[in-house]
Amino acid sequence: MAASDMRDPDAPPVHLQPLSLLLVFAGGAFGTLARFGAEEWAATRVPGWPWATWAVNIVGSLILGALMAGLAAAGPDTGVRQRIRLLAGVGFCGGLTTYSAFAGEVVARIDSGDLAIAIVYAALTIVACVAAAAAGHRLGVVWGARRRGSPS
């Protein structure tokens, strides 16, 4: 019987367990603080373009891609791997990245008459985030293969 099949049938689902909620909350708090710090730093140094949002979304995509692939390569989503996923993936990366700020920045540029800038920003963000997630995934696969001692 697989470890994932040995879960107590009377236990609440993972997303309702107090430890899971605490891990997501803690990771989310740190991710949100990191995003806030990036926004504060960029606002005074590179005004006029949403560099902080762009950067945190790309970095978050890279981290999440690497994390999910690495954890999947390490074994089933149980125990420590599940807690790492909840803390770092759902919590930290979820708090760090921001689709709402990205969408708001695109709409703000459209509203100010900068349609071309809005389109370029949206396209660059999507392409960069997907590329970062793919690169992160590849890093996670390589890491997982090295942990298992097999070629990637």
Return binding residues.
94, 97
What tokens does 48 get?
A: 């006029």
Tokens representing residue 11 in the block: 């236990």
Residues making up the binding site for Na(+) = 94, 97
Q: What is the 3-state secondary structure (H, E, C) of the chain?
A: CCHHHHCCCCCCCHHHCHHHHHHHHHHHHHHHHHHHHHHHHHHHHCCCCCHHHHHHHHHHHHHHHHHHHHHHHHCCCCHHHHHHHHHHHHHHHHHHCCHHHHHHHHHHHHHCCCHHHHHHHHHHHHHHHHHHHHHHHHHHHHHHHHHHCCCC
